[in-house]
Each structure stands twice: as structure tokens, then as C-alpha cells.
Structure 1
Amino acid sequence: MFNSYTLGLDIQEQNITAILIKKTFSRKELVSINNINLTQPFINENKTINSILLTENIKNLLTTAIPTPIPADITVHCSIPTSKTFIHIFNLPVKISNNDLKNALLFEAEKIIPIPISSLYFDYQIINENKAEKKVLFACVEKNIADQFLQILESCNLNPTTFNLKNNAIINAFKSKKKKNIQDNVLICDIDSTILSLIILKNQKIQITDYLHINLSDIENILEQIKNFIQKFPEKINKTILNGSALSNNEIFNQIKNIFPREVELGNPWTQIHVKPKIIERINKKPEISKEKAISFASAIGLALDNQNNINLIPENIKEQKLIQKFVLLTNLISSFLIIYGLLAIYFSIITWADLNYQEKYYQITKNSIDRIESGGNYQTLRDNIQKFNSEVITEQKIEKTLYSLSTFLQEFRDYVPKNIKITKINFDRNSQLILLDGIAPDRNAVIALKKSLESYPLQKSIDLPLASLVQKGKISFIAKISINDQKLPPYAMINSNQNVKK
């Protein structure tokens, strides 16, 4: 899912090299490699391409790759032969806006390119900018050349994405990963069988670049060309990297190294990618692609690594298709993201709702439990209160059964006293259950009538009314003692009940 495969295909007039790498995040790993030296040129004198010859060689290159054949229908970053491209660095005023830069470049390019701009595919790249000027790398290729390359690659079932410059590919292959080397001024010399490519980097950015046709047998001329190129750069060169298939001849390398006192080394593009030991064993068995000849693969490795900001001379319709594909891919990614985001939002909404529902139910259950506890407590309290009330009622009933109303008792007792008898004092002793009655009777007969009336009182046990007072004439004062039978006294509750009934 996170792996992507990219093929770097370096097509030059004398040879074709291919590197297939697998990209997994920041890791780049070699998958397959191959190189073919061409026995005859595929570009004719009339600038047409022998498509049959080139197609056969590319297919052979892919099927015989080590350790496994390179599959078709794969993304390809390709270089067009250096001799068929034109490159130039323009120094333009910094005040020219990026929107006007294209027109300014075309105006300047028409002055030095002998071919009509309308017959070219071109691209440009700002390589440096300061307060005074912009340095812009301009590159172009004839449309008929690029179109033929495109048709050939598609006939090989390949999916070309970029037509890059070999010089840019070499820079990708030799970019330093060490921070201390980033500030160095580096000279890169790529010496092929017929082409000398020269590049000077500062801060890993192109300062000047050029390519020249050479004859390998004329070493002195090659060295002179390198010296003249260096003089165009005003600063000191700290390091020189030599690269190219011609350097498999150690004599050329040694002569260049003896002339330049600066640090000189053979390029090692393998530092940019990881190669498994088993693959190294396989490729070392094939002399033309052995690791000792890695400098021959620098361009292909740089192409496979691909820097999106590099020059791209592929036909415009392919660029538009790639832009549309990127747009569609981006749209699909955004749509997928939105769908996933929506699904996640729904999922988390459901989870949140379920959690809230659970919390609500938990709260309700807890509340009901508390209510039950409180209800149980209230019930218990109510029950205790009722029991207490019943106990008090029972106690009161018991008390009422043992008590009686004195006022009611005396009122009933008074009814048994004749009306002609005047009561002067009445006293009731609860302890002895004795009524002491003092009064005045109008005569003797009234006293006798009083005694008879009191004897008919149902609650009396005995009556003590001395008859000595009966001999008196006129009004008679008397003192009577009436003993009461308390067991016959009506209870207090019964008296109240009877009174309520009467009411």
C-alpha cells in the first residue's frame, strides 16, 4: 500500500541504462538494473529516430534486467539524449515577475536558438535569485524528437511521466546527505563516449552548466574544456566529482586527477539507494552492470529518484493528462478522506450517543435506586410514626379507661340533691373515693328527702348523714359523707363518646 515503483531510463546515443527502485516512505531500494551498449545509433542523420531499433533495445533492456525483469505499465522518468536538447542559463532582472518570466525567456531564447520556438517543447527552472537578478535554466527539445520518444515508450507499454535533462539527473544522484558538505562548491564532470557534461553546484543548486562534444582520444582537449568551464565561475571549487561511462578507463581518471589539485573522486550514486547483498552478488556476475561501474548508472539513478521541481520536456498533452490525473487522484483522495471522515464522524456520533444513552440509563437507574432507598426510608419513617401513633392511642385509651371526668361525675351527683337543699361546700377525695357535702336544708323533712335521694344514687356505697341535726327547728345545717364505688364510675372515653353522641 505504501510502496511505489519508479523506473529511471537514461537513453543516450551510445547506451541505454535502466534502474527500477521501490520507494517506501523515505527509503529507496534497488529492485532491478540493466545496461545495453548500442552497436549502431538509433538517431538518423535526418534527425529521425529508428523507432524499430530503439523499441527492440528498450524491450530487451527490460526483459533481461537483473535480478528480475522490469514489468511493463510502470511510471517512467526518462532522459532524452543530451545531443538532442538545448540548455542555457539566462540572467534576467529580478523585477520580472514570475508571471512574465515565460514571455521574457522566449524573447531571449529566440535570439540564440536557430529553430522556431513554435517547433520546440520547452521548460525552465529558477536556479538562483538575488537582489539584482534571477538565474533561470532554460531547456528545450524539438517536438518531433520528443513525440517519437513518447510513441516508442508507449509501444513498450511504459508510462512516461517526465522527459528530464541528464544534467539534472546527475545532480539528483550526487546530492550530498551530509550537512557539512551542502555549502561546498562542487564541480561535476560527466564524461561519456561523445559528450562532456559540466555542472557547478553551490548549496546543491546549479550555478552554471554546459555540455560539449568530445573525442575520448583527445584527453588534452577534454582537460582544456574543463579548465575553461571552471573559469566562468568566480569562486573556488572545493570538490570535483567525476562520472560517466568513459571513466571506466582508469587512465582518463588519473590524468584528470593529476591536473586538478583539489579533492577529486569518482561519483558513487549508490549512496542514494539501498541495495540488498543478494542483488549485489547477482549484478557483479554481469561485468557491464557490476557495482564497480556504478558511475555509468548515475543518470538512471537520478532519474528514478526524480525531483518534481526539475525540467520536464514531455509533450504538453501528456503534461495536461498528468495534471488531470493528479487532480483526479487528489479529488479521489479528498473524497475518500471526506467519506472516511464522515464515517468516523458517524461512528463517533453513534459511540457518543450510545455513551450518553448509557450514562442517561445509568443515571436513571441510579436515581431510581436512590428513590427506592429514599422511598424505603420514608416508608420506614412513616411506619414508625404510625406505630408510635398507635402506641400513643393505645396508651391514651388505657389512660381513658382508668380515668373519669370529675366535672361530669359531680354534675350527675348534683342531680340527686333536691333543689330546696342549698349546697355550701362539696369536696371529692380521689384517694378515699369520698364525697364531703356541706349544706343547709330548710327543715327536717328536706334532710330526710336528701338522704333518700342520695341512697338511690347508683354509685354510692354508703351514706353517713348524722340524724342528730334533725331535731333542730328551722333551717338545718348538715354534713354528709358519701362513699363512692369507683368501679362503677364510667371511663373518661365513654363519657366523651356519650357526650359526642348527644351532641
Structure 2
Amino acid sequence: MPAILPAFLTPKHHHFGLAISRTSLRGIEVLGGKVRATVHVPIEEGVFQDGILLDKPRFLNHLKELLVKGKFTTNYVVVCFSEIYAYTREYKMPKIDFHEVREAVSWHVKDLFPFPESDLYYDWRLLDQNEKEYTLSVVAVQRKLLDFQVAALIEAGLKPLGFQPGATAVSKLLTLKDNQYALIAEINRVGAYVTLVRGGNSLFTTVVHVAPQEAENVFFTNISQTVSEITTYYQNKGILREVAKIPVLLTGELANDAFPGKLSPYIKQPMQVLKTPLNDPGFNKAYAVAQTEISKPDDKNNINLLPPQIQMQYEQEQAQAFYKTLLIRANIVIFLICLFAIGSFVIFKFEQQQLDARVKRLRQNVESRKTSTQELLLLNSQAKNIIALDPLKKTPRDKLAVLVNLLPESITILQWAYDDSTLQFELEGIAPGRSDLILLKQKLETSEEFAKVNLPLDSFAIPENIHFKLDFTVK
């Protein structure tokens, strides 16, 4: 994928590490820097011969057993195979563009290895460079060794992302400076190999064969002799100095804390067991490839012997996955934009409704104030009319004053009533005698203010303390 694209748009693959030897399968999955799963499955005799897979059905059964026991969270895998089947050569060439190095190496593969180029999978890694030339480490393996394994891995449902020889993988576990050398001795039940490494790069590997029922001291002597031959050869070439200080790091299924003591009579150089967080040297190769970063075969800093046809297939799948991922995430972005737009619209409409409601209330308040003002003005106008008409209004107040003057002092008024509509007074009271009552009636009738005096005759039924009612109108 183009390097200019953001990392979050390109699919990432998590993988587990698988070390395949003639006698066993070892798998490790590392998540977040911690070992999540480890599994060891022995391989039956006869499944491999000289590194070539002969019995595919049995190998598939072993792979399936590994997957069942390991319960790995991914089907992507990086494979480490035995170093004894790989060939490593140092090659110097004139300095050219990096994109042309692989083609230039292909011209000399037949000179570097005892096989035609068509029979090999090979890769190179940059060891050093100066103004004039590159120093490369070229690693190759016969195609027939990997092709059968690749087919079996794919049939088992796995997706191999890389293949590395054992020493190449284990050398990545070392913390050596670029110009610092060390020897890696992998010791297994069926043999051993010794590899010279510089920094994180393997330079040369020699196999130590072990015969059936071979005595331990003979095996140790052969390992010591191999270490001596490698160091002497590179010392004579002027590459190694102070050979006695070059450390020997022990790994493999037989390596343990007791081994440096066993080998010390044979090897005088400093020795130690190469350990990982798993603390089991037999899993070092699997752990190394489980931790390795995935790189294409054309990466100048790593070795990956993945067959080119598998790489092309992955590149096609990656392109499809990339565009699928891009489409999905673009749709997510579009959805979020639409969601934001809809949310903004809803908020806008809500605010608009709130504003319209406030405007409506304000208008109602204004209208109500107009109505109140008009009512107040009307009331004020009516009040002015009332004030203007007040002097013209006729009330019983003046008539009452006249009536008080007409009443004899002996008569007591209990209550009175006045009807505006008929201008009629009604009086109710007590008179001491008939003469007092007659006197009141005569005064009212002769008054210029009143008329139509009506005094019922039954008011004279008793001679004294007469309770009476009478009515009269105002003229």
C-alpha cells in the first residue's frame, strides 16, 4: 500500500510463531509483549527426511493438534525452519540503487550457491555499506523444502507470512552492537549447528552431526571443534579479533543451565544459555519469529524466504482488504457526517421552535398590553364622563334631609328604602299614637318634595305604639 496513506487505513496482521524441526512443532503467541500460548507437538519419525516433507497427512494431523492445543487467536504465522537446510553467504557488490539489488543478486546466485536459481528461494540483508560497495548477507533454501510445508500450512487453514532459518531468527534476540560478534550454538537431540553472528545478522553456519548412540563427550568435542574452525577461519580473514572473548550463546531443546558447565572443558570462551521471558531455550526460535516484525522479501534489513507466489497472493488480498477497509471506514465517516448534519438540523429546528414560541409569547404580551391600554383608556374616558355627569345625578341625599325635618320628634324610624327607578321611599317605624301618625302623613302631603303618600288604614287599628309602614314618591 502507498506509504503516504495513514496507518489506520491499512489492515494490520497479528501472527504467532512456529518453529518446525525434524522432530517437533513448537508454537508461541505473544500478545502485548506477554506470552499468551505455548504448545509443543512431537513429530513422528518418517514425516521428514533431509528436511523434505514426505508424509503430508501425518504432518497435517500434527498441525491440527498444535492449533487445537494452542487455541491461537490468529491464523497468520511466521515459520522458523532448521538452519541446517539454509545456506548463508556474504556477498560484496558495487553500490547501486536498492531497488536494483535483488536483480543484481539474482545474477550471481548460481555462483554463491551449489544450485540453480530456479531451485532456490533466496533473500538478502544489508550488513554494511561504504561509498563504493554494499556488504550483503544472502540466505537461500531449496524450494522443495518449503513448497511442501507451505502447501500443508495453507491446507491446515494457516496463512504463512514469512520463513526464516533458525540462526537468522535467534540472532534477533541478541542485544549486540553492530560491530560485535557472537556464536550461537543450537543443541538438539538430533544434532547441533553453530552460527557466527554480527549485530543482529547471521554470517556463517556450520552443522554438527550426531550419530546414534554417540557419546556425550564426542558430541561436545565436535561442537568445540566447530566453534574453533569458525573462529579460526574468520580470524585468518582478519574479521575476528580477540577470539577468546567472543561469547558462545547456547539455545535449543537440550540447552539448560547445566550445559555451560558441561561444555567448559571443551570450549574456553564465555558461555551462557540464551533465555527469553518463556525461560525455555527449546522455544527460542518460535519466540523469535513470534516477536519479529512482518516484512516483505525485498526489505533490506530482514530475511524472509516466503515464496514469491504467496507474497503476490497476499499483496492482492491486502489490496482488496485495503480498499474494503477504506470503503467501510469512508462509509463510517460519511455516516458520522450525515449523523452530525441531522443532529445539527434537529438542534436548529428545536432552537427555531423555541425562538418562534418566544416570539409568539412576546407578541401575545404586546397584544395583551395593547388591550389593557385600550381598556384603561376606555375606563379613563368613562371615568371622565362619570365625573362630568356626577353633578347631574339625582340621589336621595337631599330628599332625606327634607324628610328628617318633616318627621315629628315622637316618631321613631326603624328602616327606610329608596327605589331609584320609581323614585319611591318606603318608611317603617313606630308612632306613639294615631295623632302623631296623621301629623306625619299631613306633613308629607303638604311638602313640596313628596307626593302620593300611602298609609294603610290598618296602621290605625291600635290607638298607641303603632307599628306602621308608608310609602311616597319624590316629585
TM-score normalised by the chain length of structure 2: 0.64
Listed as ranges, the gaps of 5+ residues in structure 1 are 274-290, 402-503
Equivalent residue runs for 1:175-324 within 5 Å? 185=180, 187-192=182-187, 193-202=190-199, 205-206=200-201, 208-215=202-209, 216=219, 217-228=221-232, 231=235, 232-233=239-240, 240-248=248-256, 250-251=258-259, 254-256=262-264, 259=267, 262=270, 264-269=271-276, 271=277, 294-309=280-295, 310-324=302-316
The residue type paired with residue 12 of structure 1 is S
Moved more, 364-373 or 318-327: 364-373
CA deviation digits over 1:232-272, x for unaligned, max 9?
A: 3569978653212353594565435985565x421112x2x
Q: In the alignment, residue 78 of structure 1 is paired with which amino acid?
A: V
Bigger drift between 302-311 and 185-194 goes to 185-194
In 1, are the aligned partners of 2:196 and 2:230 still within 8 Å (CA)?
no
Q: 1:124 is matched with which residue?
A: 124
Correspondence 1:486-497 to 2 at 5 A: none
Amino acid aligned to 1:372: Q
Cα distance in 2 for residues equivalent to 1:391 and 1:240: 121
Change (3 A) 1:391 1:175: farther
Q: CA deviation at 1:374?
A: 3.0
Q: How does 1:386-401 map to 2 (within 5 A)?
A: 386-389=378-381, 391=383
Question: Which letter maps to 2:40?
Answer: N
**Residue 11 of structure 1 pairs with residue 8 of structure 2:** no
Shift of 1:299: 0.8
Q: Considering only CA atoms, is the larger Rg found in Structure 1 or Structure 2?
A: 1
- Kept in 2: contact 1:223–1:256 (CA 8 A): no
Amino acid in the other structure paired with 1:357: K
Aligned pair in 2 of structure 1 residues 114, 9: CA closer, same or farther (>3 Å)?
A: same
The answer on whether the counterparts of 2:194 and 2:208 sit within 8 Å (CA) in structure 1 is no
Which residue of 2 is the match for residue 492 of structure 1?
Answer: none
- Identify the residue that residue 143 of structure 1 maps to in structure 2: 143
Task: Find the counterpart in structure 1 of residue 320 from structure 2.
Answer: 328
Deviations 1:283-306 (A, max 9, x none): xxxxxxxx6xx2121112222333
Which SS does the other structure have where 1:327 is aligned? helix
The residue aligned with 2:49 is: 43
In the alignment, is the contact (CA less than 8 A) between 1:170 and 1:298 conserved in 2?
yes
**1:17 Cα deviation after fit:** 2.8
Q: Structure 1 residue 188: deviation in Å? A: 4.6
CA distance in 1, matches of 2:368, 2:341: 39
Matched, 1:384 2:376: yes
CA distance in 2, matches of 1:249, 1:315: 38
- Secondary structure of the structure 2 residue equivalent to 1:308: coil
Amino acid at match of 2:357: I
1:450 is matched with: none
Which amino acid letter does the alignment assign opposite residue 335 of structure 1? L
Aligned residue number for residue 164 of structure 1: 164
* Contact 2:88–2:138 (8 Å) recurs in 1: yes
The one-letter code of the counterpart of 1:159 is K
Structure 1 segment 17-28 matched on structure 2, within 5 A: 17-21=25-29, 23=31, 26-28=32-34
The CA distance in 1 between the partners of 2:369 and 2:265, in whole Å, is 103
Q: SS where residue 343 of structure 1 aligns?
A: helix
Q: Is the 8 A contact 1:125 1:311 kept in 2?
A: yes
Count of residues in correspondence between the two structures = 361
Identity across matched positions, percent: 14
Conserved in 2, the CA contact under 8 Å of 1:124 and 1:139?
yes
Counterpart Cα distance in 2 of 1:30 and 1:338: 34
Q: 1:354 to 1:260 in 2, by over 3 A?
A: farther
Alpha carbons of structure 1 residues 353 and 214: separation in structure 2 relative to 1, 3 Å: same
Q: Does 1:106 align with 2:100?
A: no
Residue aligned with 1:247, SS: coil
Partners of 1:19 and 1:3 lie apart in 2 by 21
Using the size of structure 1 for normalisation, the TM-score is 0.60
Q: 1:117 to 1:370 in 2, by over 3 A?
A: same
Equivalent residue number for residue 37 of structure 2: 31
- Deviation sequence 1:45-93 (CA, Å, 0-9, x none): xx8x3521x6525623652x59936679933322333233222233344
- Alpha-carbon distance between aligned partners in 2 of 1:144 and 1:299, rounded to the nearest angstrom: 22
- The CA deviation at 1:151 is 2.7
Q: Note the alpha carbon deviations across 1:396-437, whole angstroms, 9 max, x for none.
A: x66999xxxxxxxxxxxxxxxxxxxxxxxxxxxxxxxxxxxx
Q: Determine which structure has the larger helix proportion and give its number.
A: 1
Secondary structure of 2:69's partner? coil
Counterparts of 1:324 and 1:139 in 2: how far apart (Å)?
A: 26
| Superposition RMSD in Å | 4.0
1:128–1:349 CA distance, 2 compared to 1 (3 A): farther
Partner AA of 1:142 in structure 2: Q
Distance apart, 1:337 and its partner CA: 0.9
Write the distance in 2 (CA, Å) between the matches of 1:256 and 1:62: 41
Does 2:357 align with 1:360?
Answer: no
Equivalent pair of 1:62/1:71 in contact (CA under 8 Å): no
CA gap 1:261/1:316 in 2 versus in 1, 3 angstroms: closer
Q: Is the 8 A contact 1:128 1:136 kept in 2?
A: yes
Offset, 1:225: 3.2
Change (3 A) 1:200 1:68: same
Distance 1:138 1:195 in 2: 22
The change in CA–CA distance for 1:183 and 1:212 in structure 2 (over 3 A counts) is closer
Cα distance in 2 between the residues matched to 1:330 and 1:371: 60
Query: Counterpart of 2:62?
Result: 60
Say if 1:22 and 1:195 are closer, same or farther in 2 by CA, change over 3 A: closer
